[in-house]
């Protein structure tokens, strides 16, 4: 079952236990029961009861073989999701959480309603989850600080994406509107569109021009290179509008990899239009246009 559904069964004392665990994970590989009791200021029997439930529902995981002679607990990915979702609901950024829109390469996307009842999406970033799972499976426990690296990496990824979206949106680049972020999660406006890969285009050249015009704005006005641009990260709406998504790996134009990444982004886009529509614009010319060395595309 998806976290959004399991999330509904949690009450405020459950969240208290999850956030105490989150906090204490900074200093413990596994957070001892006594620590959770102390910081949550709940009675021990209630804590024991709730931890058992939270573990059964996989919001918490216990140390399988207590590594240092005590039983301890850590947040799972779902536990971390629950804390972020709760923060959105509490701050009013999100009014209701809906169904899953799918699992991406490095994220899970949920539909939601924002504070004004408008549809939006919540993107939960997932980095390093494989390595976390593998480590737990292999050893039964995680022995060093890598036990929280998935948590830091996912949070960093969301932070990067949110701040990029703010810059891009303000610069007039066609991206989802950033609405809020918390921990490893970003709330943004929903795009009713199809990934370029699957989009049926009546006028592919016009779509390509729009994408390249946006890439030029990204580079010149926002000072950013997407760095993972592909036919999956461009959404095309029925009216022909294009939106560029999936920004956590973007870099500034003066980053040492910026030019290389930009070339790769450009060839990915061109390759897609060659395949889908037989268009073959000159890559050098496109590069000059995007970076501003040339004023018009002149396709």
Task: Name the one residue in this structure whose structure tokens are 């970033």.
Answer: 125
Q: Compare residues 75 and 243 and give the one whose CB is closer to ligand ADP.
A: 243
CA distance 212 to 229: 12
Is 121 one of the binding residues for ligand ADP (CB under 6 A)?
Answer: yes
Is 245 one of the binding residues for ligand ADP (CB under 6 A)?
Answer: yes
- Report residue 242: phi and psi, to 5°: -115, 145
Of 138, 136, 291, 283, nearest in space to 221 by CA:
291
The residues near 89 (Cβ < 8 Å, ≥ 6 apart) are 95, 97
159's contact among Mn ion, ligand ADP, none, with CB below 5 to 8 A by partner kind, is none
Q: Compare residues 188 and 212 and give the one whose CB is closer to ligand ADP.
A: 188
Q: Compare residues 22 and 161 and give the one whose CB is closer to ligand ADP.
A: 161
The dihedral built from the CA positions of residue 277, 294, 224 and 249, taken in this order, carries a sign that is positive
Residue selected from 33, 48, 113, 190 as contacting ligand ADP according to rule CB under 6 A? 190
188's contact among Mn ion, ligand ADP, none, with CB below 5 to 8 A by partner kind, is ligand ADP
The residues near 209 (Cβ < 8 Å, ≥ 6 apart) are 297, 299
Q: Compare residues 105 and 295 and give the one whose CB is closer to ligand ADP.
A: 105
To the query of whether residue 228 is one of the catalytic residues in this protein, the response is: yes
**Selected catalytic residue, list 14, 228, 246, 265:** 228
176's contact among ligand ADP, Mn ion, none, with CB below 5 to 8 A by partner kind, is ligand ADP
Q: Return the half-sphere exposure (C-beta side, CA atoms, 13 A cut-off) of residue 295.
A: 0
Residue selected from 63, 107, 135, 261 as contacting ligand ADP according to rule CB under 6 A? 107
Q: Compare residues 53 and 160 and give the one whose CB is closer to ligand ADP.
A: 160
Residue pair 66/32 in contact (Cβ under 8 Å)? The answer is: no
Residue 142, Cβ neighbours under 10 Å: how many? Answer: 22
Task: Name the one residue in this structure whose structure tokens are 């665990």.
Answer: 21
191's contact among Mn ion, ligand ADP, none, with CB below 5 to 8 A by partner kind, is ligand ADP
Least Å from the CB of residue 232 to ligand ADP: 5
Which residues are paired to 73 by β-bridges? 31, 62
Residue 65 structure tokens: 């073989």
Radius of gyration, CA atoms only, the chain = 22
Site map 204..233 versus ligand ADP, x via CB under 6 A: ----------------------------xx
Active-site amino acid positions: 228
Where along the sequence are the contacts to ligand ADP (CB under 6 A)? 101-102, 104-107, 109, 121, 123, 176, 188, 190-191, 195, 232-233, 245-246
């Amino acid at each position: 079952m998806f976290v959004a559904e399991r999330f509904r069964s949690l009450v405020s004392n459950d969240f208290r236990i999850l956030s105490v665990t989150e906090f204490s994970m900074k200093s413990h590989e596994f957070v001892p029961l006594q620590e959770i009791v102390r910081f949550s200021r709940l009675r021990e029997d209630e804590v024991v009861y709730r931890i058992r439930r939270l573990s059964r529902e996989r919001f918490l995981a216990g140390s399988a073989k207590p590594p240092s002679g005590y039983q301890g607990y850590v947040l799972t990915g779902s536990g971390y999701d629950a804390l972020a979702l709760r923060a959105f609901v509490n701050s009013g950024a999100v009014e209701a959480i809906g169904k899953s829109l799918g699992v991406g390469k490095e994220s899970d996307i949920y539909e939601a309603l924002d504070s004004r009842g408008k549809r939006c999406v919540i993107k939960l970033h997932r980095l390093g989850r494989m390595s976390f799972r593998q480590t737990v499976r292999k050893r039964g426990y995680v022995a060093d600080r890598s036990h929280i690296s998935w948590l830091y990496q996912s949070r960093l990824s969301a932070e990067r994406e949110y701040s990029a979206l703010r810059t891009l949106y303000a610069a007039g680049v066609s991206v989802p509107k950033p609405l809020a972020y918390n921990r490893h999660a970003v709330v943004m406006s929903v795009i009713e569109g199809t990934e370029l890969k699957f989009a049926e285009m009546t006028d592919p050249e016009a779509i390509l021009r729009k994408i390249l015009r946006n890439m030029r704005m990204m580079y010149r006005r926002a000072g950013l290179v997407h760095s993972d641009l592909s036919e999956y990260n461009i959404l095309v709406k029925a009216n022909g509008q294009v939106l560029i998504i999936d920004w956590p790996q973007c870099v500034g134009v003066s980053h040492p990899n910026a030019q290389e990444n930009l070339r790769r982004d450009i060839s990915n886009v061109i390759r897609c239009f060659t395949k889908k529509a037989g268009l073959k614009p000159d890559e050098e010319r496109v590069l000059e246009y995007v970076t501003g060395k040339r004023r018009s595309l002149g396709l």
